[in-house]
Structure 1
Amino acid sequence: MVDWPALTRSRTKRELYARETYFREGLADAEEVADGQLSTVLHEGALLVVKPDGLASGQLLPVLDYLGEHGFTVAGARDLLFQPFHWRELWRYQLTSATLDRLAVNELVLGAGPALLLLLRGEPGHLLPGAVRLSTLKGSATLEMQKPGTLRALLGQPNRILSYVHVADEPADLLRELGLLLDPAARRALLGSLVNGAPAAEDEDTLRRARERFAAPVRSLDRADALERVTRAVDEAGPGPAADAARYRLERMARDERVAWRPFLAELDAAGARPDRWDLAVLGTYVIEYDEPGFAKVLTNPDARSWESVPRPDTSIGDRHRENV
């Protein structure tokens, strides 16, 4: 039976995840690998992904320092290449209000380079599970809502999309995301490292190589730099109606006006302009409309204070789910 109160304090999340294979596979592997330590492992475990924009902008070492300062150690580290289905499924319950332009920009950002998945173990003795504590420490992706001392505030993310890191918000999300992002062998190996509390040699090597490669920024994510280079690519493509249309949109971007993104990409293609993917990705994060009005997320995170009480175990959803399998 699924001990839902140990995994999430969201009733909606229980209903959704009980019917989802990503979560069920992650939970099944964790139950087998944990060998009787599942409750401890899930209470202390946490998951953080340094996104491609976080690595490219040199944020890995500050992230690792912040984690250490707040009692988290790396139990496992794996390189990750986001495929479109990865991030669409990862945020499927949060992207119900996203514009198609935002999806197109997400595709550019998350596919522009490697990411690094870190499976973490928090120090014992905390009332909140490690995943919940780290989610609170992460801070909001919305700049106006960030609190001093949170990770994203310290990293100085430039806008809502270039948020540098992703964190699993509750133990249920940790299991679901391991089921989604990793193949069975890698998932089970990382869970084994989480149980042991120390990374395997492969994970230590992955983290060492990432530290060396991304110790400093490998490219600029500055808006002005991106705008200049994309404009240069259009100019180099030569004259023509499509280039003129793209140039007009670039002029609007330079005036801090928002533009329709997918028509702009079509104009670049028709003009034969081939700007660098990162420059396109960065520029798009500043100039698109993020969300459609009037649509709410399917899931929002429960208040972390809901974890301060110990509710009566409720396995009714898990029971119904198992009866239907």
Structure 2
Amino acid sequence: MAHPGAPEIPTFLSALPRKRSLYAADTYFRESFEDLSTVGGGRVEQFCHDHALLLLKPDAVVSRRLGAVLRWVLANGFSIVWAATVALDRHGVRALWQYGLNAASRDRRDAADLYVTACECLLLLLALPGRPEPASSVLSAVKGPADPGRCRPGQLRYDVGSFNYQLNLVHAADEPADLLRELAVLCDHETRAPLYRRTLDRRDGSVADGRSEAFALVERLESATPAVDLHLDRTLRDLTAAAERRTEGVRDAGAPGAAGELAALLGRVRGGRSRDWRGVLRLAECAEVPVSRWQRIVLATHLLDPYVPGATSLLPDSSDAGESR
């Protein structure tokens, strides 16, 4: 049921009645749709059908896979229309994933705050005209599921490689309605309205070429951000070595203390007998073993349980179609 006083959302924006009802009262969606309608005239539906939005997250930056993602996108028929860097804070995290985080565990929400805000992201507006289905729906399907174990060859997250449920390199808007809403979350009016205008003002029907801009931003992001190994084994090995060095330092005192407990717990994690990442961080602090931000991120995202048992998200995520939320 539509919210009283809210505008009717056209079905070309979403196949889901519940999404159309919720977005009718969503400020982000409404402002973006208003901007597009103001400059788009009769071309609103065409813009929504032909374009998709892809966010390359901080894990793609530090793992040096930005360029591989761009090359995959271009090789699979998409054009890069526009590119920009964006920085998210905890409010942006909640706005972007607002309709799914109600089913997310506290561990998952805490980990998202930690890694999504770790550095700037790369935002791409893509085009894929001439297809019967919307470009955003095509991209949502070919990017692959959030869980790397469910990805298949030919999907972006399989071909480029991802690390776990959260460190999976990219986020894509599921449908045209999500494209508009997420552009409002990630870009202000002063950025968004001119982008709509420039894209729609190409009278010859051609698509703007933002490839050079996108690859230049890749170089800028990677030069400003140190590379990180995001594999769990590497982090566990490094922390185990640090814990053992601390244990050697206190062994003469006659008890292993926190450093020994940390080394033992890390051994259980490495052997698959524990997933207590918060315990690792607690013992590391007690033992004065330094843990970097990205080591915290790797531990949390690899070891956490992402769901609240029995909870269902307000809207389905195409990355996890058919899974309990």
Q: In which range does the TM-score fall when normalised by the shorter chain?
A: 0.7 to 0.9
SS in 2 for 1:300: coil
Q: Does 1:76 align with 2:85?
A: no
Match of 2:234 in 1: 225
SS in 2 for 1:141: coil
Q: How does 1:79-90 map to 2 (within 5 A)?
A: 79-90=85-96
Q: Structure 1: how far apart are the matches of 2:245 and 2:38? A: 58
- Greater relative contact order (Cα 8 A, min sep 6): structure 1 or 2? 1
Q: Could you tell me the percent identity over the aligned residues?
A: 33
Distance 1:112 1:257, change over 3 A: farther
Q: Structure 1: how far apart are the matches of 2:75 and 2:127? A: 13
Q: Structure 2: how far apart are the matches of 1:235 and 1:194? A: 58
2:270 is matched with which residue: 254, 266, 276?
A: 254
Describe the superposition over 1:164-199 as per-residue Cα deviations: whole angstroms up to 9, x where unpaired.
Answer: 110000000011111111122122233334324326
SS in 2 for 1:36: helix
Distance 1:37 1:286, change over 3 A: same
Displacement of 1:35:
4.0
Whether the aligned pair in 2 keeps the contact of 1:48 and 1:165 (CA below 8 Å) is: yes
Q: Structure 2: how far apart are the matches of 1:135 and 1:24? A: 22
Match of 2:303 in 1: 287
Match of 1:209 in 2: 217
Displacement of 1:222:
1.9
Whether the aligned pair in 2 keeps the contact of 1:229 and 1:279 (CA below 8 Å) is: no
Displacement of 1:271:
4.4
Q: Does 1:137 align with 2:142?
A: yes
TM-score (structure 2 length as normaliser):
0.82
Displacement of 1:3:
4.4
Larger deviation, residues 63-72 vs 238-247: 238-247
Displacement of 1:270:
4.6
Q: Structure 1: how far apart are the matches of 2:197 and 2:291? A: 43
Displacement of 1:47:
0.1
What is the aligned-residue RMSD (CA, Å)? Answer: 2.8
TM-score (structure 1 length as normaliser):
0.82
What letter corresponds to residue 159 of structure 1 in structure 2? N
Whether the aligned pair in 2 keeps the contact of 1:81 and 1:111 (CA below 8 Å) is: yes
Distance 1:269 1:128, change over 3 A: same
Q: Structure 2: how far apart are the matches of 1:136 and 1:50? A: 16
Distance 1:118 1:236, change over 3 A: farther
Q: Does 1:265 align with 2:281?
A: yes
Match of 2:208 in 1: 198
Q: Structure 2: how far apart are the matches of 1:61 and 1:217? A: 16
> Which sections of structure 1, spanning at least 5 residues, go unmatched?
304-325
Larger deviation, residues 274-283 vs 230-239: 230-239
Match of 2:153 in 1: 148
Distance 1:274 1:290, change over 3 A: same
Whether the aligned pair in 2 keeps the contact of 1:143 and 1:159 (CA below 8 Å) is: yes
Whether the aligned pair in 2 keeps the contact of 1:57 and 1:217 (CA below 8 Å) is: no
Q: Structure 2: how far apart are the matches of 1:251 and 1:290? A: 23
Displacement of 1:242:
5.0
Distance 1:213 1:19, change over 3 A: closer
